[in-house]
């Protein structure tokens, strides 16, 4: 039947091999949604995360299988090349860490496990799509596929006011950002008549289109839209509020993977499609990067919520990474991708420790929850210490190598002052990273920690009405969430170890990102 049909109707050629990682992710998403409907609580709580890890593992394997492929798929809408594959690796690793962090989390339970993990996987699929996008339609679809599940994920702790607030805030501000970007894409389409990145690039390279007001307005709107997604100041304001309010595993996911996807599309869209307008956007982005570095680092000072502090820090880190985009050289691309990978390890270590402490103490994500950790739980204190040192860029960590690479790219790209800004930013950043380390190693543990998690994480007393999307599971089981949490410890220790490993032996990572720079046709 089916072969007959294809014989009559000449359908488009579909390269399933190239699409396979995406198919694995989306298929996994559907699968966990269905499995999540099964009755047994054990299946929901254990099988669903396992399945979603399995889907991620499959996507990882398929990504590696596609290694060294250089091809366009879906009529040129997506491109599988080294950049896309490397970013896929980072995305999948980040998502896998998130699944582990969310294994016993309240968020996954309140939202019902199937839904939580389905949303997570479809968001990863959106990111993967974004990292490979070759035209503006794919860009927009990827961006929304990334964002919409995230809006929901932020609000998954339905009983907690902050979670709802962060979800709604993210939705409103995020939609404004998307609309801005869309309007920009429309204008670029209007100016060039095509949605293809390559087509846009060739249209802009001919004649005076590169300085046409329509084009430049479009570029300006796109800058704003993408800056919003990668939380570049002054479009960063959603970041601290949303990061603080969202469930911590989701925050970890957002902090790492959204950046990866956003910078992937930054590199593709600006360094390929809009490369001929680089004289216009280069300095603008450089100024934005500087503002971002300053605002992020300054804002993080003196925050008492670790998640909020890390949110501002992620704003600052986005500023560093933007330097690699600004210079639009191969070195810049490599530096950005290298930093993204290092950023994954550094942040995952920190967030894993925060997740662990949220479940162990009643202090939430406040810095006080870490006091005395060095003596009590060195296995948690060391990853956090390493992560803070790496984020500040201390040598022998991956963060140092990444910063070194970025500064090198900025200086050799003619933006020495941007390199100086990175250094100044790192200096300020010690002002908020070191207090965390001091709290862990130099302060006494709080006198009595009551690890009564259920009352902690769902602080509202009394019975609550059934919620939209809420699972019945929570009502029947209000018991403690924690106990031992080996998977969180594993994430913390592995991420911390990787941060040190790639700081001491960075060559494998250098080799990995080497190809990412060459695929874009830059110098």
Partner 1 sequence: MSIAWYLAVSAIVFSLGAIGVMTRRNPLVVLLCLELMLNGANLALIAFSRMWGNGDGQILAIVVMTVAACEVCIGLGMIVAIYRRHLPIDVDELRELQG
Partner 2 sequence: MSATTYGWLVLLFPLLGMLVTALGFRSLPGRSAGWIATAAIFLSFLAALGALIKIQGLAPEHRQVVSSLWSYASTVGIDAQMSILVDPLSVFMILVVTGVSTLIHLYSISYMEGDRGFARYFSYLNFFVFSMLLLVLAGNFLLLITGWAFVGAASYLLISFWYRRTTATSAGIKAFVINVVGDVGLVLGTYFIFKHTHTLDFLKTFQATSAGAFGHASNEGDLVAGCILLLVGAFAKSAQIPLHTWLPDAMEGPTPVSSLIHAATMVTAGVYLIARMHPLFELAPAAQDVGAVVGAATLLIAGTIGLAQTDIKRVIAYSTMSQIGYMIMGVSVGAYAAGLFHLMTHAFFKALLFMAAGSIIGAMAGEQSLNRMGGFRKAMPFTYGCFIVGGLALSGVPPFSGFFSKDDILLVTGERGGWHWILYVAGYVGAFLTAIYTFRMIFRAFHGEPVAEARELNLKSHPPHLHHAEVPRNPANGEEEDTDVGFPGPTHAIAERALPMRVAMGVLALGAVGAGLVQIPKVDFVIDDFLRPSFAGSALYEPHTKNGLLVFGLGLGTVLALLGIALAHRIWVVRPGMATSIRERFRPAYVLFVNKWYFDELIDMLVVKPAAAAGLFARDTFEQLFVDETLIGGTTGIVRAGSAAVRAAQSGFVRYYAALLVLGVTGVGFYFLLQT
Interface residue list for partner 2 (CB under 8 A): 168-169, 172-173, 176-177, 180, 211-213, 216-217, 219-221, 223-224, 227-228, 234-235, 237-238, 240-241, 279-281, 284, 288, 294-295, 298-299, 301-302, 331, 401, 405, 408, 412, 428, 431, 504-507, 510
Query: Which one among 52, 128, 134, 166 touches partner 1, defined by CB under 8 A?
Result: 166
Phi, psi of 434, deg, nearest 5: -65, -40
CA 324, 325, 327, 333 torsion: positive or negative? positive
**298 touches, from partner 1, partner 2, none (C-beta below 5 to 8 Å by class):** partner 2
Q: d(Cα 329, Cα 113) in Å, to the nearest integer?
A: 43
Q: Which is nearer to partner 2, 275 or 474 (CB)?
A: 275
Piece in contact with partner 1 (CB under 8 A), picked from 188-196, 347-355, 367-375, 481-489? 188-196
Using CB under 8 A as the binding rule, whether residue 140 contacts partner 1 is answered as yes
* 133: DSSP letter: B
Smallest gap from residue 62 Cβ to partner 2 (A): 30
Per rule CB under 8 A, is residue 506 in the interface with partner 1? Answer: no
Smallest separation, CB 431 to partner 2 (Å):
8
Q: Name the residue nearer to partner 2 (CB basis): 405 or 433.
A: 405
Nearest CB to partner 1, comparing residues 143 and 323: 143
CB of 82 to partner 2, least distance (A): 17
Question: Which of the choices partner 2, partner 1, none does residue 161 contact, using the CB cut-off of 5 to 8 A by kind?
Answer: partner 1
| 116 counts as binding partner 1 under rule CB under 8 A | no
Q: ∠ at Cα 366 (362, 370), nearest 5°?
A: 80
Alpha-carbon distance of 145 to 478, in angstroms, equals 33
Which residues 282-341 are close enough to bind partner 1 by CB under 8 A?
A: 303, 308
Residues 27-46 that bind partner 1 (CB under 8 A): none
Which pair of structure tokens corresponds to residue 8? 């009559």
**Residues 479, 482, 483: CA angle, nearest 5 degrees:** 105
Residue 13 CB, shortest distance to partner 2, in Å, is 39
CB of 302 to partner 2, least distance (A): 6
The answer to whether 264 and 84 have CB atoms below 8 angstroms apart is yes
Q: How many CA atoms lie within 13 A of 224 on its CB side?
A: 18
Question: Please, is 209 exposed, middle or buried when counting C-beta atoms within 10 Å of its C-beta (0-12, 13-18, 19+)?
Answer: middle
Rounded-to-integer distance, Cα 116 and Cα 478, Å: 19
By a kind-dependent CB cut-off of 5 to 8 A, residue 166 interacts, out of partner 2, partner 1, none, with partner 1
Closest to partner 2 by CB, 7 or 279 = 279
Which of 400, 224, 257 is closest to 340 using CA atoms? Answer: 257
Q: Which two tokens stand for residue 465?
A: 């009405």
Position 182 contacts partner 1 (CB under 8 A): yes
User: Please, which residue, 209 or 497, has the CB nearer to partner 1?
Assistant: 209
Site for partner 1 contains 137 (CB under 8 A): yes
Q: Is 34 exposed, middle or buried (0-12, 13-18, 19+ CB in 10 A)?
A: exposed
Shorter beta-carbon distance to partner 2: residue 103 or 228? 228
- In the set 193, 446, 451, 478, which binds partner 1 (CB under 8 A)? 193
Closer of 62 and 285 to partner 2 (Cβ): 285
Smallest distance from partner 2 to CB 240, Å: 6
Q: How many Å apart are CA 223 and CA 466, to the nearest integer?
A: 42
Residues 215-254 that bind partner 1 (CB under 8 A): 240-242, 244-245
Q: How big is the chain, counted in residues?
A: 523
Strand partners, 305: 366
Are residues 108 and 116 in contact, defined by beta-carbon separation less than 8 angstroms? yes
Question: What are the φ/ψ torsions at residue 196 (nearest 5 degrees)?
Answer: -70, 140
Rule CB under 8 A: say whether 187 interacts with partner 1.
yes
**In terms of CB distance, is 140 or 235 closer to partner 2?**
235
How many C-beta neighbours within 10 Å does residue 234 have? 12
CA distance 522 to 434: 39
The DSSP annotation for 217-284 comes to HHHHHHHHHHHHHTT-TTS-THHHHHHHHS-HHHHHHIIIIIHHHHHHHHHHIIIIITGGGHHHHHHH
User: What is the pattern of x (binds partner 1, CB under 8 A) and - over residues 459-488?
Assistant: -----xx-xxx-------------------
Q: Which is nearer to partner 1, 154 or 410 (CB)?
A: 154
SS3 readout for 72-97? EECCCCEEECHHHHHHHHHHHHHHHH
Which range of residues in 6-14, 174-182, 396-404, 514-522 is near partner 1 by CB under 8 A? 174-182
The site for partner 1 (CB under 8 A) is made up of 136-137, 140-141, 144, 148, 151-152, 155, 158-159, 161-162, 164-169, 171-172, 175-176, 178-180, 182-183, 185-187, 189-190, 193-195, 240-242, 244-245, 303, 308, 464-465, 467-469
């Amino acid at each position: 039947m089916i072969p007959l049909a294809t014989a009559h109707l000449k359908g488009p050629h579909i390269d399933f091999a190239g699409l396979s990682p995406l198919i694995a992710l989306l298929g996994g998403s559907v699968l966990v949604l269905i499995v999540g409907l099964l009755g047994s609580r054990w299946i929901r709580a254990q099988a669903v995360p396992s399945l979603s890890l399995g889907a991620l593992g499959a996507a990882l394997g398929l990504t590696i299988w596609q290694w060294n492929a250089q091809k366009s798929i879906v009529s040129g809408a997506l491109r599988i090349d080294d950049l896309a594959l490397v970013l896929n690796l980072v995305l999948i690793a980040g998502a896998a860490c998130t699944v582990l962090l969310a294994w016993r989390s309240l968020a996954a339970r309140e939202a019902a496990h199937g839904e939580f993990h389905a949303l997570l996987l479809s968001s990863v699929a959106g990111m993967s799509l974004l990292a490979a996008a070759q035209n503006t339609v794919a860009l927009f679809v990827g961006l929304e596929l990334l964002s919409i599940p995230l809006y929901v994920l932020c609000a998954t702790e339905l009983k907690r006011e902050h979670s709802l607030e962060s979800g709604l805030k993210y939705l409103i501000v995020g939609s404004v950002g998307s609309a801005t970007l869309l309007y920009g894409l429309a204008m670029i389409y209007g100016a060039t008549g095509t949605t293809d990145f390559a087509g846009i690039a060739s249209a802009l390279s001919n004649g005076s289109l590169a300085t046409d007001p329509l084009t430049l307005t479009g570029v300006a709107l796109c800058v704003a839209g993408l800056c919003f997604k990668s939380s570049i100041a002054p479009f960063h304001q959603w970041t601290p509020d949303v990061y603080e309010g969202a469930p911590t595993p989701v925050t970890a996911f957002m902090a790492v993977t959204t950046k990866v996807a956003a910078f992937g599309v930054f590199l593709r869209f600006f360094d390929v499609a809009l490369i001929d307008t680089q004289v216009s956007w280069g300095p603008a982005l450089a100024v934005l990067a500087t503002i971002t570095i300053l605002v992020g680092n300054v804002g993080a000072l003196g925050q008492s919520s670790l998640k909020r502090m890390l949110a501002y820090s992620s704003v600052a880190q986005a500023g560093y990474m933007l330097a690699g985009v600004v210079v639009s050289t191969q070195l810049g691309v490599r530096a950005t991708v290298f930093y993204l990978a290092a950023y994954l390890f550094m942040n995952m270590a920190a967030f894993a420790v925060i997740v662990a402490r949220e479940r162990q103490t009643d202090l939430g994500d406040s810095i006080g929850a870490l006091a005395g950790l060095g003596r009590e739980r060195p296995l948690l204190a060391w990853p956090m210490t390493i992560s803070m040192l790496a984020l500040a860029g201390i040598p022998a960590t991956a963060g140092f190598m990444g910063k070194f690479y970025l500064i090198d790219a900025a200086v050799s790209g003619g933006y020495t002052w941007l390199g100086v800004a990175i250094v100044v930013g790192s200096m300020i950043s010690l002002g908020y990273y070191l207090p965390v380390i001091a709290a862990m190693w130099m302060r006494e543990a709080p006198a009595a920690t009551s690890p009564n998690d259920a009352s902690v994480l769902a602080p509202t007393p009394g019975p609550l009405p059934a919620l939209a999307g809420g699972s019945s599971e929570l009502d029947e089981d209000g018991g403690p969430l924690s106990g031992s949490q080996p998977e969180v410890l594993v994430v913390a220790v592995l991420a911390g170890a990787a941060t040190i490993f790639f700081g001491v032996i960075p060559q494998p990572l250098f080799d990995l990102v080497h190809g990412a720079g060459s695929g874009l046709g830059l110098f």
